[in-house]
Structure 1
Protein backbone atom coordinates (compact mmCIF):
# COMPACT_ATOMS: atom_id res chain seq x y z
CA UNK A 1 0.00 0.00 0.00
CA UNK A 2 1.51 3.30 -1.06
CA UNK A 3 0.87 5.88 1.64
CA UNK A 4 1.91 9.51 1.82
CA UNK A 5 1.23 12.42 4.14
CA UNK A 6 -0.83 14.03 1.37
CA UNK A 7 -2.66 10.90 0.28
CA UNK A 8 -3.48 8.11 2.70
CA UNK A 9 -7.17 7.49 2.04
CA UNK A 10 -8.57 3.98 1.93
CA UNK A 11 -11.84 3.11 0.16
CA UNK A 12 -15.03 2.35 2.04
CA UNK A 13 -17.54 -0.15 0.64
CA UNK A 14 -20.09 2.60 -0.14
CA UNK A 15 -17.74 4.43 -2.54
CA UNK A 16 -16.50 7.00 -0.03
CA UNK A 17 -12.98 7.15 1.41
CA UNK A 18 -11.48 7.47 4.88
CA UNK A 19 -8.00 8.82 5.75
CA UNK A 20 -5.86 6.13 7.42
CA UNK A 21 -4.63 8.53 10.10
CA UNK A 22 -6.93 10.72 12.14
CA UNK A 23 -6.91 12.71 15.36
CA UNK A 24 -8.95 11.43 18.28
CA UNK A 25 -10.55 14.33 20.17
CA UNK A 26 -11.60 12.72 23.45
CA UNK A 27 -10.57 14.66 26.53
CA UNK A 28 -11.94 14.47 30.06
CA UNK A 29 -14.32 17.47 30.08
CA UNK A 30 -13.57 18.05 33.78
CA UNK A 31 -9.83 18.37 33.19
CA UNK A 32 -9.46 19.81 29.68
CA UNK A 33 -9.20 23.63 29.67
CA UNK A 34 -11.68 25.47 27.47
CA UNK A 35 -10.30 26.18 24.00
CA UNK A 36 -7.78 23.32 24.09
CA UNK A 37 -9.64 21.31 21.45
CA UNK A 38 -9.98 24.33 19.12
CA UNK A 39 -6.24 24.97 19.17
CA UNK A 40 -5.29 21.30 18.78
CA UNK A 41 -7.64 20.67 15.85
CA UNK A 42 -6.42 23.83 14.07
CA UNK A 43 -2.81 22.79 14.60
CA UNK A 44 -3.61 19.28 13.35
CA UNK A 45 -5.13 20.68 10.15
CA UNK A 46 -1.99 22.77 9.61
CA UNK A 47 0.15 19.65 10.19
CA UNK A 48 -1.85 17.73 7.57
CA UNK A 49 -4.56 15.80 9.44
CA UNK A 50 -7.89 15.66 7.61
CA UNK A 51 -9.71 13.04 9.69
CA UNK A 52 -11.20 13.91 13.09
CA UNK A 53 -12.90 11.47 15.41
CA UNK A 54 -15.36 12.99 17.85
CA UNK A 55 -18.54 12.28 19.78
CA UNK A 56 -21.41 14.06 21.47
CA UNK A 57 -20.34 12.59 24.84
CA UNK A 58 -16.87 14.16 24.55
CA UNK A 59 -18.61 17.51 25.21
CA UNK A 60 -16.27 19.36 22.83
CA UNK A 61 -17.86 18.96 19.39
CA UNK A 62 -18.56 22.72 19.39
CA UNK A 63 -14.79 23.33 19.62
CA UNK A 64 -13.98 20.80 16.88
CA UNK A 65 -16.56 22.47 14.62
CA UNK A 66 -15.20 25.94 15.39
CA UNK A 67 -11.64 24.88 14.53
CA UNK A 68 -12.70 23.31 11.23
CA UNK A 69 -14.77 26.37 10.29
CA UNK A 70 -11.85 28.71 11.07
CA UNK A 71 -9.47 26.67 8.90
CA UNK A 72 -12.03 26.68 6.07
CA UNK A 73 -12.48 30.44 6.48
CA UNK A 74 -8.71 31.11 6.25
CA UNK A 75 -8.46 29.01 3.09
CA UNK A 76 -6.37 26.15 4.51
CA UNK A 77 -8.99 23.50 3.69
CA UNK A 78 -12.42 23.06 2.13
CA UNK A 79 -15.24 21.22 3.90
CA UNK A 80 -14.88 18.32 1.44
CA UNK A 81 -11.21 17.92 2.47
CA UNK A 82 -12.26 17.13 6.05
CA UNK A 83 -13.50 13.75 7.26
CA UNK A 84 -15.48 13.96 10.51
CA UNK A 85 -16.75 10.94 12.43
CA UNK A 86 -19.52 11.46 15.00
CA UNK A 87 -21.14 8.87 17.27
CA UNK A 88 -24.62 7.81 18.35
CA UNK A 89 -24.59 7.51 22.14
CA UNK A 90 -26.23 4.70 24.14
CA UNK A 91 -29.21 6.78 25.30
CA UNK A 92 -30.31 7.49 21.72
CA UNK A 93 -30.82 3.94 20.40
CA UNK A 94 -34.64 4.03 20.09
CA UNK A 95 -35.31 4.67 16.38
CA UNK A 96 -37.23 7.91 16.99
CA UNK A 97 -34.23 9.40 18.84
CA UNK A 98 -31.56 8.59 16.23
CA UNK A 99 -32.12 11.48 13.82
CA UNK A 100 -32.54 14.09 16.62
CA UNK A 101 -29.21 12.91 18.10
CA UNK A 102 -27.44 13.29 14.76
CA UNK A 103 -29.07 16.69 14.22
CA UNK A 104 -27.84 17.75 17.66
CA UNK A 105 -24.28 16.85 16.59
CA UNK A 106 -24.71 18.77 13.31
CA UNK A 107 -26.03 21.85 15.15
CA UNK A 108 -23.13 21.66 17.62
CA UNK A 109 -20.56 21.35 14.83
CA UNK A 110 -22.46 23.88 12.65
CA UNK A 111 -22.19 21.47 9.71
CA UNK A 112 -24.70 20.21 7.15
CA UNK A 113 -23.46 16.63 7.27
CA UNK A 114 -20.91 14.36 8.90
CA UNK A 115 -18.75 12.00 6.86
CA UNK A 116 -19.22 9.00 9.13
CA UNK A 117 -21.72 8.39 11.91
CA UNK A 118 -21.29 5.30 14.04
CA UNK A 119 -23.15 3.47 16.78
CA UNK A 120 -20.70 4.10 19.65
CA UNK A 121 -21.55 0.93 21.57
CA UNK A 122 -24.02 -1.91 20.99
CA UNK A 123 -25.44 -1.33 24.50
CA UNK A 124 -28.55 0.82 24.93
CA UNK A 125 -29.11 2.90 28.07
CA UNK A 126 -32.37 4.35 29.34
CA UNK A 127 -33.24 7.39 27.16
CA UNK A 128 -33.41 10.77 28.84
CA UNK A 129 -31.33 13.82 29.71
CA UNK A 130 -28.69 11.78 31.57
CA UNK A 131 -26.00 10.24 29.35
CA UNK A 132 -25.09 7.79 32.15
CA UNK A 133 -28.46 7.07 33.82
CA UNK A 134 -28.33 5.37 37.22
CA UNK A 135 -30.91 4.33 39.80
CA UNK A 136 -30.94 5.38 43.47
CA UNK A 137 -28.40 2.62 44.25
CA UNK A 138 -25.98 3.94 41.63
CA UNK A 139 -26.64 1.05 39.23
CA UNK A 140 -26.69 1.86 35.52
CA UNK A 141 -30.15 1.76 33.96
CA UNK A 142 -30.14 -0.20 30.71
CA UNK A 143 -32.70 -0.20 27.94
CA UNK A 144 -33.63 -2.84 25.42
CA UNK A 145 -33.42 -1.66 21.83
CA UNK A 146 -33.29 -3.77 18.73
CA UNK A 147 -29.96 -2.93 17.06
CA UNK A 148 -31.55 -3.57 13.64
CA UNK A 149 -34.26 -0.97 14.33
CA UNK A 150 -31.59 1.54 15.40
CA UNK A 151 -29.71 0.76 12.17
CA UNK A 152 -32.81 1.36 10.03
CA UNK A 153 -33.17 4.82 11.59
CA UNK A 154 -29.51 5.49 10.67
CA UNK A 155 -30.14 4.35 7.10
CA UNK A 156 -32.92 6.97 6.89
CA UNK A 157 -30.42 9.63 8.04
CA UNK A 158 -28.05 8.64 5.23
CA UNK A 159 -30.88 8.73 2.71
CA UNK A 160 -31.72 12.24 3.96
CA UNK A 161 -28.13 13.41 3.27
CA UNK A 162 -27.23 14.08 6.92
CA UNK A 163 -24.37 11.58 6.83
CA UNK A 164 -22.22 10.14 4.03
CA UNK A 165 -21.29 6.77 5.58
CA UNK A 166 -22.56 4.61 8.43
CA UNK A 167 -20.54 2.42 10.76
CA UNK A 168 -20.38 0.89 14.21
CA UNK A 169 -17.97 0.73 17.13
CA UNK A 170 -17.16 -1.99 19.66
CA UNK A 171 -19.33 -4.54 17.82
CA UNK A 172 -18.31 -8.18 18.02
CA UNK A 173 -18.78 -10.67 15.21
CA UNK A 174 -22.29 -11.72 16.32
CA UNK A 175 -23.46 -8.10 16.50
CA UNK A 176 -22.00 -7.31 13.07
CA UNK A 177 -23.68 -10.42 11.65
CA UNK A 178 -26.99 -9.24 13.07
CA UNK A 179 -26.79 -6.12 10.90
CA UNK A 180 -25.24 -7.76 7.84
CA UNK A 181 -28.01 -10.39 7.66
CA UNK A 182 -30.83 -7.96 8.46
CA UNK A 183 -33.72 -8.42 6.01
CA UNK A 184 -34.00 -5.40 3.72
CA UNK A 185 -30.54 -4.01 4.62
CA UNK A 186 -30.03 -0.84 2.57
CA UNK A 187 -26.65 0.41 3.76
CA UNK A 188 -24.16 -1.98 5.31
CA UNK A 189 -21.76 -0.76 7.99
CA UNK A 190 -18.57 0.45 6.29
CA UNK A 191 -16.44 0.46 9.45
CA UNK A 192 -16.07 -0.98 12.93
CA UNK A 193 -14.13 1.11 15.45
CA UNK A 194 -12.43 -1.19 17.96
CA UNK A 195 -9.43 -1.21 20.27
CA UNK A 196 -6.44 -2.27 18.19
CA UNK A 197 -2.68 -2.07 18.88
CA UNK A 198 0.37 -4.39 19.01
CA UNK A 199 -0.72 -5.90 22.36
CA UNK A 200 -4.26 -6.44 21.01
CA UNK A 201 -3.99 -7.10 17.29
CA UNK A 202 -7.56 -8.46 16.89
CA UNK A 203 -6.63 -11.03 14.18
CA UNK A 204 -9.99 -12.84 14.10
CA UNK A 205 -12.25 -9.79 14.14
CA UNK A 206 -9.94 -8.07 11.65
CA UNK A 207 -10.21 -11.03 9.28
CA UNK A 208 -14.00 -11.19 9.67
CA UNK A 209 -14.27 -7.46 8.89
CA UNK A 210 -11.99 -7.85 5.86
CA UNK A 211 -14.14 -10.68 4.51
CA UNK A 212 -17.19 -8.42 4.80
CA UNK A 213 -15.55 -5.30 3.37
CA UNK A 214 -15.67 -3.47 6.70
CA UNK A 215 -12.75 -1.13 7.45
CA UNK A 216 -11.36 -1.45 10.97
CA UNK A 217 -10.69 1.83 12.76
CA UNK A 218 -8.33 1.25 15.69
CA UNK A 219 -8.75 3.29 18.85
CA UNK A 220 -6.04 3.33 21.55
CA UNK A 221 -3.48 2.52 18.80
CA UNK A 222 -0.71 3.55 21.23
CA UNK A 223 -2.14 1.68 24.18
CA UNK A 224 -4.01 4.00 26.47
CA UNK A 225 -3.89 6.77 29.00
CA UNK A 226 -3.44 5.55 32.56
CA UNK A 227 -6.87 6.75 33.69
CA UNK A 228 -7.89 4.28 36.40
CA UNK A 229 -11.58 5.21 36.08
CA UNK A 230 -11.92 3.31 32.79
CA UNK A 231 -8.56 1.77 31.84
CA UNK A 232 -7.12 -1.59 32.90
CA UNK A 233 -3.94 -0.43 34.66
CA UNK A 234 -2.51 -3.94 35.00
CA UNK A 235 -1.56 -3.72 31.30
CA UNK A 236 2.11 -2.92 30.69
CA UNK A 237 2.74 0.44 28.97
CA UNK A 238 2.82 -0.44 25.27
CA UNK A 239 5.23 2.32 24.25
CA UNK A 240 7.95 0.95 26.54
CA UNK A 241 7.96 -2.37 24.70
CA UNK A 242 11.56 -3.34 23.90
CA UNK A 243 10.79 -4.63 20.41
CA UNK A 244 8.90 -1.47 19.39
CA UNK A 245 11.71 0.68 20.80
CA UNK A 246 14.42 -1.30 18.97
CA UNK A 247 12.56 -1.32 15.63
CA UNK A 248 12.05 2.42 16.10
CA UNK A 249 15.81 2.95 16.58
CA UNK A 250 16.50 1.18 13.26
CA UNK A 251 14.20 3.60 11.43
CA UNK A 252 15.09 6.64 13.55
CA UNK A 253 11.50 6.64 14.81
CA UNK A 254 9.80 6.35 18.20
CA UNK A 255 7.91 3.31 19.49
CA UNK A 256 4.70 5.32 19.03
CA UNK A 257 5.43 5.96 15.35
CA UNK A 258 6.22 2.25 14.88
CA UNK A 259 2.94 1.20 16.55
CA UNK A 260 0.95 3.59 14.32
CA UNK A 261 2.78 2.52 11.17
CA UNK A 262 2.17 -1.15 12.03
CA UNK A 263 -1.61 -0.69 11.98
CA UNK A 264 -1.57 1.64 8.97
CA UNK A 265 0.38 -0.96 6.96
CA UNK A 266 -2.28 -3.53 7.87
CA UNK A 267 -4.95 -1.18 6.50
CA UNK A 268 -6.24 -0.38 9.99
CA UNK A 269 -7.22 3.29 10.35
CA UNK A 270 -5.58 4.83 13.44
CA UNK A 271 -6.96 7.73 15.48
CA UNK A 272 -4.40 8.57 18.19
CA UNK A 273 -5.76 11.16 20.59
CA UNK A 274 -3.48 13.94 21.75
CA UNK A 275 -3.74 17.47 23.09
CA UNK A 276 0.04 17.92 22.99
CA UNK A 277 1.41 20.05 20.14
CA UNK A 278 4.56 17.96 19.90
CA UNK A 279 2.75 14.63 19.85
CA UNK A 280 0.16 15.75 17.30
CA UNK A 281 3.05 16.57 14.93
CA UNK A 282 5.04 13.49 15.94
CA UNK A 283 2.14 11.06 15.35
CA UNK A 284 1.66 12.36 11.82
CA UNK A 285 5.23 11.47 10.82
CA UNK A 286 4.57 7.86 9.83
CA UNK A 287 4.56 8.19 6.05
CA UNK A 288 8.30 8.56 5.44
CA UNK A 289 9.27 5.00 6.43
CA UNK A 290 7.86 1.51 6.19
CA UNK A 291 8.23 -1.66 8.23
CA UNK A 292 9.68 -4.80 6.65
CA UNK A 293 7.69 -8.01 6.46
CA UNK A 294 9.86 -9.45 9.26
CA UNK A 295 9.23 -6.42 11.46
CA UNK A 296 5.48 -6.63 10.82
CA UNK A 297 5.48 -10.33 11.81
CA UNK A 298 7.55 -9.63 14.92
CA UNK A 299 5.13 -6.89 16.02
CA UNK A 300 2.13 -9.15 15.31
CA UNK A 301 3.74 -11.73 17.61
CA UNK A 302 3.61 -9.19 20.48
CA UNK A 303 -0.15 -9.77 20.75
CA UNK A 304 -1.06 -10.51 24.37
CA UNK A 305 -4.84 -10.20 23.92
CA UNK A 306 -4.66 -7.31 26.36
CA UNK A 307 -7.65 -5.01 26.30
CA UNK A 308 -6.98 -1.63 27.90
CA UNK A 309 -10.60 -0.51 27.60
CA UNK A 310 -12.71 -3.27 29.17
CA UNK A 311 -15.79 -1.22 30.18
CA UNK A 312 -16.37 -3.69 33.03
CA UNK A 313 -18.89 -1.35 34.68
CA UNK A 314 -21.31 -2.42 31.92
CA UNK A 315 -20.32 -6.09 31.69
CA UNK A 316 -23.78 -7.16 32.94
CA UNK A 317 -25.47 -5.51 29.95
CA UNK A 318 -27.11 -8.13 27.69
CA UNK A 319 -25.29 -6.66 24.66
CA UNK A 320 -21.90 -6.21 26.37
CA UNK A 321 -19.66 -7.06 23.41
CA UNK A 322 -16.49 -8.38 25.07
CA UNK A 323 -17.69 -11.64 26.64
CA UNK A 324 -17.32 -13.37 23.29
CA UNK A 325 -13.97 -14.30 21.78
CA UNK A 326 -14.30 -11.75 18.97
Structure 2
Protein backbone atom coordinates (compact mmCIF):
# COMPACT_ATOMS: atom_id res chain seq x y z
CA UNK A 1 0.00 0.00 0.00
CA UNK A 2 1.30 3.45 -0.91
CA UNK A 3 0.58 6.50 1.24
CA UNK A 4 1.05 10.23 0.76
CA UNK A 5 3.66 10.21 3.54
CA UNK A 6 5.94 8.16 1.29
CA UNK A 7 6.47 11.19 -0.98
CA UNK A 8 6.81 14.06 1.48
CA UNK A 9 10.56 13.79 2.14
CA UNK A 10 11.88 13.94 -1.43
CA UNK A 11 12.33 17.70 -1.85
CA UNK A 12 10.02 17.58 -4.88
CA UNK A 13 7.46 20.21 -5.81
CA UNK A 14 3.89 19.57 -4.75
CA UNK A 15 2.96 18.83 -8.37
CA UNK A 16 5.66 16.17 -8.65
CA UNK A 17 4.52 14.65 -5.36
CA UNK A 18 0.91 14.46 -6.52
CA UNK A 19 1.95 13.01 -9.88
CA UNK A 20 4.12 10.31 -8.31
CA UNK A 21 1.44 9.41 -5.77
CA UNK A 22 -1.26 9.22 -8.46
CA UNK A 23 0.91 7.08 -10.72
CA UNK A 24 1.69 4.59 -7.97
CA UNK A 25 -1.94 4.47 -6.81
CA UNK A 26 -3.03 3.58 -10.33
CA UNK A 27 -0.37 0.87 -10.59
CA UNK A 28 -1.51 -0.51 -7.22
CA UNK A 29 -5.15 -0.38 -8.31
CA UNK A 30 -4.37 -2.31 -11.49
CA UNK A 31 -2.35 -4.90 -9.59
CA UNK A 32 -4.90 -5.48 -6.81
CA UNK A 33 -8.11 -4.58 -8.70
CA UNK A 34 -8.78 -1.87 -6.09
CA UNK A 35 -11.50 0.41 -7.49
CA UNK A 36 -11.23 2.86 -4.60
CA UNK A 37 -7.58 3.57 -5.40
CA UNK A 38 -8.72 4.69 -8.85
CA UNK A 39 -11.29 7.05 -7.31
CA UNK A 40 -8.56 8.27 -4.96
CA UNK A 41 -6.25 8.95 -7.90
CA UNK A 42 -8.94 10.94 -9.70
CA UNK A 43 -9.49 13.05 -6.59
CA UNK A 44 -5.78 13.88 -6.48
CA UNK A 45 -5.95 14.89 -10.14
CA UNK A 46 -8.61 17.45 -9.23
CA UNK A 47 -6.34 18.91 -6.54
CA UNK A 48 -3.47 19.17 -9.00
CA UNK A 49 -5.61 20.97 -11.56
CA UNK A 50 -6.94 23.41 -8.96
CA UNK A 51 -3.52 24.19 -7.52
CA UNK A 52 -2.33 25.10 -11.00
CA UNK A 53 -4.78 28.01 -10.73
CA UNK A 54 -6.31 27.74 -14.16
CA UNK A 55 -7.95 30.80 -15.68
CA UNK A 56 -11.41 29.61 -14.69
CA UNK A 57 -10.62 30.31 -11.02
CA UNK A 58 -10.16 33.99 -11.78
CA UNK A 59 -13.45 34.06 -13.67
CA UNK A 60 -15.21 32.14 -10.91
CA UNK A 61 -13.93 34.40 -8.12
CA UNK A 62 -15.08 37.47 -10.05
CA UNK A 63 -18.61 36.06 -10.11
CA UNK A 64 -18.43 35.44 -6.36
CA UNK A 65 -17.29 39.04 -5.98
CA UNK A 66 -20.62 40.13 -7.50
CA UNK A 67 -22.35 38.68 -4.44
CA UNK A 68 -19.90 40.57 -2.25
CA UNK A 69 -21.02 43.81 -3.93
CA UNK A 70 -24.66 42.78 -3.50
CA UNK A 71 -24.12 42.28 0.23
CA UNK A 72 -22.31 45.61 0.57
CA UNK A 73 -25.36 47.31 -0.91
CA UNK A 74 -28.05 45.34 0.92
CA UNK A 75 -26.29 45.09 4.31
CA UNK A 76 -23.98 48.13 4.57
CA UNK A 77 -24.09 48.03 8.38
CA UNK A 78 -22.58 44.52 8.50
CA UNK A 79 -18.88 43.82 8.61
CA UNK A 80 -18.01 40.75 6.57
CA UNK A 81 -15.20 38.93 4.82
CA UNK A 82 -15.11 36.80 1.69
CA UNK A 83 -12.35 34.26 1.36
CA UNK A 84 -11.74 31.56 -1.20
CA UNK A 85 -9.26 28.72 -1.01
CA UNK A 86 -8.24 25.52 -2.71
CA UNK A 87 -8.17 22.73 -0.15
CA UNK A 88 -4.60 21.73 0.73
CA UNK A 89 -3.23 18.40 -0.42
CA UNK A 90 -2.86 17.09 3.13
CA UNK A 91 -6.35 18.16 4.17
CA UNK A 92 -7.82 16.62 1.01
CA UNK A 93 -6.03 13.36 1.73
CA UNK A 94 -7.23 13.39 5.36
CA UNK A 95 -10.82 14.07 4.35
CA UNK A 96 -10.93 11.52 1.53
CA UNK A 97 -9.73 8.73 3.81
CA UNK A 98 -11.91 10.02 6.64
CA UNK A 99 -15.00 9.63 4.45
CA UNK A 100 -14.10 5.99 3.80
CA UNK A 101 -13.50 5.21 7.47
CA UNK A 102 -16.67 6.96 8.62
CA UNK A 103 -18.95 5.41 6.00
CA UNK A 104 -17.69 1.85 6.42
CA UNK A 105 -17.72 2.12 10.23
CA UNK A 106 -21.31 3.45 10.32
CA UNK A 107 -22.47 0.83 7.84
CA UNK A 108 -20.79 -1.97 9.80
CA UNK A 109 -22.27 -0.75 13.09
CA UNK A 110 -25.77 -0.75 11.60
CA UNK A 111 -25.70 -3.91 9.46
CA UNK A 112 -22.81 -6.01 10.77
CA UNK A 113 -21.34 -6.24 7.27
CA UNK A 114 -19.59 -3.99 4.77
CA UNK A 115 -21.01 -1.76 2.02
CA UNK A 116 -20.73 -2.66 -1.64
CA UNK A 117 -17.91 -0.98 -3.53
CA UNK A 118 -20.47 0.80 -5.71
CA UNK A 119 -22.07 2.36 -2.60
CA UNK A 120 -18.68 3.46 -1.30
CA UNK A 121 -17.82 5.04 -4.65
CA UNK A 122 -21.13 6.90 -4.59
CA UNK A 123 -20.29 8.23 -1.13
CA UNK A 124 -16.90 9.46 -2.35
CA UNK A 125 -18.53 11.24 -5.30
CA UNK A 126 -19.89 13.73 -2.78
CA UNK A 127 -16.36 15.02 -2.15
CA UNK A 128 -16.97 18.40 -3.76
CA UNK A 129 -15.30 21.07 -1.65
CA UNK A 130 -11.78 21.18 -3.10
CA UNK A 131 -12.71 24.75 -4.03
CA UNK A 132 -14.48 26.55 -1.18
CA UNK A 133 -15.53 30.11 -0.44
CA UNK A 134 -16.32 31.38 3.03
CA UNK A 135 -18.50 34.32 4.01
CA UNK A 136 -18.12 35.50 7.61
CA UNK A 137 -20.36 38.24 8.98
CA UNK A 138 -20.41 40.38 12.13
CA UNK A 139 -22.89 42.98 13.31
CA UNK A 140 -21.20 45.84 15.23
CA UNK A 141 -22.88 46.35 18.58
CA UNK A 142 -23.49 50.01 17.77
CA UNK A 143 -26.18 48.88 15.31
CA UNK A 144 -28.12 46.94 17.94
CA UNK A 145 -31.41 48.47 19.03
CA UNK A 146 -32.41 48.39 22.71
CA UNK A 147 -33.49 44.92 23.73
CA UNK A 148 -31.94 43.18 20.72
CA UNK A 149 -29.62 40.19 21.18
CA UNK A 150 -26.45 40.31 19.10
CA UNK A 151 -26.29 36.58 18.33
CA UNK A 152 -29.98 36.44 17.37
CA UNK A 153 -29.68 39.43 15.06
CA UNK A 154 -26.57 38.08 13.37
CA UNK A 155 -28.36 34.78 12.85
CA UNK A 156 -31.24 36.54 11.12
CA UNK A 157 -28.89 38.28 8.72
CA UNK A 158 -26.89 35.10 8.08
CA UNK A 159 -30.01 33.21 7.03
CA UNK A 160 -31.22 36.16 4.92
CA UNK A 161 -27.93 35.98 3.04
CA UNK A 162 -28.29 32.20 2.74
CA UNK A 163 -31.77 32.62 1.26
CA UNK A 164 -30.48 35.03 -1.39
CA UNK A 165 -27.31 33.19 -2.40
CA UNK A 166 -28.63 30.25 -4.51
CA UNK A 167 -30.80 32.36 -6.81
CA UNK A 168 -28.11 35.01 -7.18
CA UNK A 169 -25.44 32.54 -8.29
CA UNK A 170 -27.79 30.53 -10.50
CA UNK A 171 -28.34 33.68 -12.55
CA UNK A 172 -24.55 33.73 -13.10
CA UNK A 173 -24.01 30.20 -14.34
CA UNK A 174 -23.98 28.10 -11.18
CA UNK A 175 -26.35 25.29 -10.20
CA UNK A 176 -27.08 24.57 -6.53
CA UNK A 177 -26.62 20.89 -5.70
CA UNK A 178 -29.14 19.10 -3.44
CA UNK A 179 -27.73 18.20 -0.01
CA UNK A 180 -29.64 14.88 -0.10
CA UNK A 181 -30.91 15.30 3.45
CA UNK A 182 -27.47 15.63 5.06
CA UNK A 183 -27.73 17.98 8.07
CA UNK A 184 -31.18 19.07 6.89
CA UNK A 185 -32.00 22.47 8.30
CA UNK A 186 -34.42 22.75 11.22
CA UNK A 187 -34.40 26.55 11.17
CA UNK A 188 -37.53 28.57 10.40
CA UNK A 189 -35.21 31.33 9.15
CA UNK A 190 -34.22 29.34 6.07
CA UNK A 191 -36.74 29.49 3.22
CA UNK A 192 -38.35 26.20 2.24
CA UNK A 193 -37.28 26.50 -1.40
CA UNK A 194 -33.57 26.66 -0.50
CA UNK A 195 -33.57 24.21 2.43
CA UNK A 196 -32.90 21.16 0.22
CA UNK A 197 -29.57 22.68 -0.86
CA UNK A 198 -28.08 23.51 2.54
CA UNK A 199 -26.27 21.39 5.07
CA UNK A 200 -27.12 23.24 8.25
CA UNK A 201 -24.45 22.76 10.93
CA UNK A 202 -26.07 25.55 12.94
CA UNK A 203 -29.32 23.77 13.74
CA UNK A 204 -27.31 20.50 13.67
CA UNK A 205 -23.93 21.34 15.29
CA UNK A 206 -21.18 18.72 15.45
CA UNK A 207 -19.95 17.13 18.66
CA UNK A 208 -17.05 19.63 18.65
CA UNK A 209 -19.34 22.68 18.43
CA UNK A 210 -18.75 23.39 14.74
CA UNK A 211 -21.51 25.61 13.31
CA UNK A 212 -21.86 26.82 9.74
CA UNK A 213 -24.10 26.71 6.67
CA UNK A 214 -22.71 24.77 3.70
CA UNK A 215 -23.99 24.74 0.13
CA UNK A 216 -22.44 23.16 -2.98
CA UNK A 217 -22.67 24.62 -6.47
CA UNK A 218 -21.76 23.25 -9.87
CA UNK A 219 -19.96 25.83 -11.99
CA UNK A 220 -21.40 25.23 -15.45
CA UNK A 221 -18.63 27.24 -17.11
CA UNK A 222 -15.65 25.36 -15.67
CA UNK A 223 -17.59 22.12 -15.04
CA UNK A 224 -16.36 21.90 -11.48
CA UNK A 225 -17.91 21.89 -8.01
CA UNK A 226 -17.37 24.44 -5.30
CA UNK A 227 -18.65 24.88 -1.76
CA UNK A 228 -19.77 28.08 -0.06
CA UNK A 229 -19.72 28.31 3.75
CA UNK A 230 -21.59 30.99 5.69
CA UNK A 231 -20.79 31.82 9.33
CA UNK A 232 -20.90 34.52 11.94
CA UNK A 233 -17.62 35.74 13.39
CA UNK A 234 -18.26 33.77 16.59
CA UNK A 235 -18.84 30.57 14.59
CA UNK A 236 -15.70 31.20 12.60
CA UNK A 237 -13.65 31.70 15.78
CA UNK A 238 -14.89 28.39 17.17
CA UNK A 239 -14.03 26.63 13.91
CA UNK A 240 -10.61 28.21 13.41
CA UNK A 241 -9.17 28.84 16.88
CA UNK A 242 -11.68 27.26 19.24
CA UNK A 243 -12.83 23.79 20.31
CA UNK A 244 -13.83 22.68 16.81
CA UNK A 245 -10.21 23.06 15.75
CA UNK A 246 -7.69 22.55 18.53
CA UNK A 247 -9.30 21.15 21.66
CA UNK A 248 -11.02 18.40 19.73
CA UNK A 249 -7.81 17.00 18.24
CA UNK A 250 -7.12 14.34 20.87
CA UNK A 251 -10.83 13.50 21.04
CA UNK A 252 -10.85 12.99 17.28
CA UNK A 253 -7.87 10.65 17.58
CA UNK A 254 -9.66 8.70 20.30
CA UNK A 255 -12.76 8.54 18.11
CA UNK A 256 -10.72 7.20 15.18
CA UNK A 257 -9.09 4.55 17.39
CA UNK A 258 -12.54 3.48 18.61
CA UNK A 259 -13.59 2.96 15.00
CA UNK A 260 -10.47 0.88 14.38
CA UNK A 261 -11.27 -1.29 17.40
CA UNK A 262 -14.84 -1.80 16.20
CA UNK A 263 -13.99 -3.04 12.69
CA UNK A 264 -11.95 -6.29 12.66
CA UNK A 265 -8.63 -5.96 10.89
CA UNK A 266 -8.30 -7.81 7.61
CA UNK A 267 -12.02 -8.01 6.85
CA UNK A 268 -12.29 -4.81 4.78
CA UNK A 269 -9.22 -3.67 2.89
CA UNK A 270 -10.76 -0.28 2.07
CA UNK A 271 -11.27 0.49 5.76
CA UNK A 272 -7.82 -0.82 6.72
CA UNK A 273 -5.97 1.22 4.12
CA UNK A 274 -7.96 4.42 4.67
CA UNK A 275 -7.50 4.19 8.43
CA UNK A 276 -3.74 3.65 8.11
CA UNK A 277 -3.33 6.54 5.66
CA UNK A 278 -5.38 8.80 7.89
CA UNK A 279 -3.48 7.98 11.07
CA UNK A 280 -0.13 8.51 9.37
CA UNK A 281 -1.23 12.02 8.46
CA UNK A 282 -2.59 12.62 11.97
CA UNK A 283 0.87 11.93 13.37
CA UNK A 284 2.84 13.81 10.72
CA UNK A 285 5.66 15.98 12.10
CA UNK A 286 5.62 18.88 9.66
CA UNK A 287 9.07 20.22 10.50
CA UNK A 288 10.69 17.06 9.16
CA UNK A 289 9.09 17.32 5.71
CA UNK A 290 11.12 18.18 2.64
CA UNK A 291 8.69 19.64 0.11
CA UNK A 292 9.69 22.41 -2.27
CA UNK A 293 8.12 25.78 -1.27
CA UNK A 294 7.08 24.47 2.16
CA UNK A 295 8.81 25.02 5.50
CA UNK A 296 7.76 24.48 9.11
CA UNK A 297 9.43 25.23 12.42
CA UNK A 298 6.83 23.05 14.11
CA UNK A 299 3.19 22.07 13.65
CA UNK A 300 2.06 25.65 14.35
CA UNK A 301 4.67 27.84 12.66
CA UNK A 302 4.26 27.04 8.99
CA UNK A 303 5.22 28.83 5.79
CA UNK A 304 3.21 27.10 3.07
CA UNK A 305 3.90 28.56 -0.33
CA UNK A 306 2.57 25.66 -2.37
CA UNK A 307 -0.80 24.53 -0.99
CA UNK A 308 0.50 21.48 0.82
CA UNK A 309 -0.91 22.10 4.28
CA UNK A 310 -2.97 25.29 4.43
CA UNK A 311 -4.31 25.43 0.91
CA UNK A 312 -4.06 28.27 -1.54
CA UNK A 313 -5.93 31.54 -1.14
CA UNK A 314 -7.82 32.65 -4.23
CA UNK A 315 -10.20 35.34 -3.00
CA UNK A 316 -9.65 37.82 -0.15
CA UNK A 317 -12.24 40.59 0.30
CA UNK A 318 -13.14 42.51 3.43
CA UNK A 319 -16.05 44.87 3.97
CA UNK A 320 -16.17 47.24 6.93
CA UNK A 321 -19.57 48.14 8.28
CA UNK A 322 -21.09 51.53 7.51
CA UNK A 323 -20.28 52.68 11.04
CA UNK A 324 -16.63 51.70 10.69
CA UNK A 325 -16.44 53.43 7.29
CA UNK A 326 -17.85 56.61 8.85
CA UNK A 327 -15.01 56.56 11.36
CA UNK A 328 -12.45 56.25 8.59
CA UNK A 329 -13.99 59.11 6.60
Q: TM-score, normalised by structure 1?
A: 0.28
Structure with bigger RCO (C-alpha 8 Å, 6+ apart): 2
Q: TM-score, normalised by structure 2?
A: 0.28
| Larger proportion of helix | 2
Structure exhibiting the larger radius of gyration computed from Cα positions: 2
